[in-house]
Amino acid sequence: MLHVTRYRVYPTKEIQDKIFHQFDVCTELRNHCLDTRCFNVRIIPELKKEHPELNGVHSQVLQNLIFQIRDNIKALATVKAKGKRVGRLRHKPVRSMDFEQSGYKIRGNILNLSKIGDIRIVISRPVPGRISHVILKFTKTHKWFVSVLSETSNDPEVWNGERTVGIDMNLVNFSFDTDGKVFAHPHNVRKAARQLGRAQRKMSRKVKGSHNRKKQRLKVARINETVENRRDDFLHKWCYYYVRKYDNIAVEKLSIKSMLEERKTQRMPGKIKRGMNRNTLDAAWGKARTFLTYKAERAGCQFEAVNPAYTSQDCFQCDTRVPKGLEDRMHVCPNCGYTVNRDLNAALNIRKRAFGVGLVTPESTLTENGTSTLAKSLEQVPLDEVRIPCL
């Protein structure tokens, strides 16, 4: 199993100058490959004779750089083959280096990189398994990080428990599950909108290319980084809550792009449309499903992503399709009279599609009985609880 662990590193001023010089050399190599359309690693020895500065960069870093360009071109070709318009790779600065198999060594709180030197590293958690890659990266907020890719040989033991849950994603609340647990939408973008808007307006008034504009651009990038960190922190807590408590987990496999395109065609005021699209993107349901997938795999849980079509409209008890608008928050079946919260009905349908858990099975919960027990079963899960460690 592959693990990726990110650590903060603090290179000295001398080491930073050396790294930036190697970044410039890698940038020249990347631009040369794009101009000559040559993506074969065998050209590196000949280029080293013509450009001696390439000898100052670890050979594996140069090879991985060419491999990355080749993979990017293949990805663009695959998208183009599907009939979509694609651009081309352009010249841009390189701000990362990939050391594979050799050229790195971690001793305590010191990371040694070949042809760079010793860098202080903060090991916030132990590295699991055997290290295979070390990627050094300089972020837009002028911070240094190292991503350590490691491999473990032992596969997790699959649990055979009966604790099953279905999770419905929605904008009123971030998620609603079959046990009545409700996670409120964090609204990270909305909370930072005022601060971010003020910083962006200040940046727009700066002269392009000036030192003051670069300083203000850094402030804007740091606000965006804070929003991203808050979002990831919430998603890690949310995923770990379900992985720790349940053995079988089912969610919707939502297509975020199609949801945004549908809302663009609706006849509604522009302000409401922008707000809905912003909240949809801020929820990061795709990232939440990705986090839950690998966390469930590591914990040995069974994870299923089901088709979300008509999960909110189909009656969980009799499968009658009851059309609803976004403003309808209750499910009232005209056929069997089953009345329950709209999101709870969707969560129950998701669980039934994934694992076949219905009303007559021992896995049934009190929330399936309708409005008589709904008010007692709902529970708001607080966001400001003690930090849950990532799995």
> Which pLDDT does position 374 carry in this prediction?
44
Same domain for 181 and 145, yes or no, is no
The tally of CA atoms less than 13 A away on the side-chain side of residue 239 is 27
Same domain for 145 and 172, yes or no, is no
Same domain for 103 and 182, yes or no, is no
184: three-class secondary structure by DSSP: coil
Integer Cα distance of 86 and 77 in angstroms: 8
Q: Is 83 left (phi over 0), alpha (psi -120 to 50) or beta?
A: left
Same domain for 177 and 302, yes or no, is yes
Alpha helices, DSSP H only, in 37-166?
Answer: 44-50, 59-81
Same domain for 366 and 289, yes or no, is yes
Closest CA to 143 of 11, 294, 1, 306: 11
Residue in this structure with the two tokens 């919260």, named with its chain if needed: 341
What backbone phi and psi angles, to 5 degrees, belong to 146? -125, 125
Q: Identify whether 390 is part of a domain.
A: no
What backbone phi and psi angles, to 5 degrees, belong to 301? -85, 155
Q: Identify whether 195 is part of a domain.
A: no
Integer Cα distance of 339 and 97 in angstroms: 57
Same domain for 118 and 180, yes or no, is no
343: three-class secondary structure by DSSP: helix
Same domain for 28 and 123, yes or no, is yes
Integer Cα distance of 380 and 185 in angstroms: 11
The domain total for the chain is 2
- Taking only the tens of pLDDT, the chain with its 391 residues reads 888 899 999 999 999 999 999 999 999 999 999 999 988 889 999 999 999 999 999 999 999 999 999 999 999 999 999 888 888 889 999 999 999 888 999 998 999 999 999 999 999 888 888 898 999 999 999 999 999 999 887 766 666 667 889 998 887 888 888 888 888 888 888 899 999 999 999 999 999 989 999 999 999 999 999 999 999 999 999 999 999 888 889 999 887 777 775 554 444 444 445 557 788 888 888 899 999 998 988 888 888 888 888 888 888 888 888 888 877 888 888 888 888 888 888 889 899 888 887 654 434 444 455 443 443 445 555 545 433 333 3
Same domain for 174 and 145, yes or no, is no
Please identify, among 90, 124, 151, the residue that sits at the C-terminal boundary of a domain. 151
Same domain for 318 and 171, yes or no, is yes
Q: Identify whether 360 is part of a domain.
A: yes
As given in the structure block, the two tokens for residue 103 are: 């050229």
Integer Cα distance of 193 and 202 in angstroms: 14
Closest CA to 171 of 388, 329, 374: 329
CB 357 within 8 A of CB 319: no
Integer Cα distance of 346 and 198 in angstroms: 40
Closest CA to 99 of 163, 55, 148: 148
Closest CA to 98 of 45, 42, 26, 46: 26
Where in the sequence is the domain holding 355, given as residue range(s)? 164-186+230-381
Q: Identify whether 122 is part of a domain.
A: yes
Integer Cα distance of 169 and 316 in angstroms: 17
Please identify, among 151, 177, 197, the residue that sits at the C-terminal boundary of a domain. 151
> Which pLDDT does position 359 carry in this prediction?
52
> Which pLDDT does position 328 carry in this prediction?
81
> Which pLDDT does position 273 carry in this prediction?
55
Measured between alpha carbons, how far is residue 370 from residues 127, 163, 251 in Å? Answer: 48, 21, 22
Same domain for 257 and 138, yes or no, is no
Q: Identify whether 208 is part of a domain.
A: no
As given in the structure block, the two tokens for residue 339 are: 């009345």
Same domain for 142 and 173, yes or no, is no
> Which pLDDT does position 262 carry in this prediction?
53
Same domain for 139 and 280, yes or no, is no
Amino acid identity, position 338:
Y
Helix 256-265 with 270-283: angle, nearest 10 deg: 180
> Which pLDDT does position 371 carry in this prediction?
43
> Which pLDDT does position 221 carry in this prediction?
94
> Which pLDDT does position 366 carry in this prediction?
44
Q: Identify whether 199 is part of a domain.
A: no
Supply the DSSP symbol for 321.
B
Integer Cα distance of 166 and 348 in angstroms: 6
Integer Cα distance of 117 and 98 in angstroms: 15
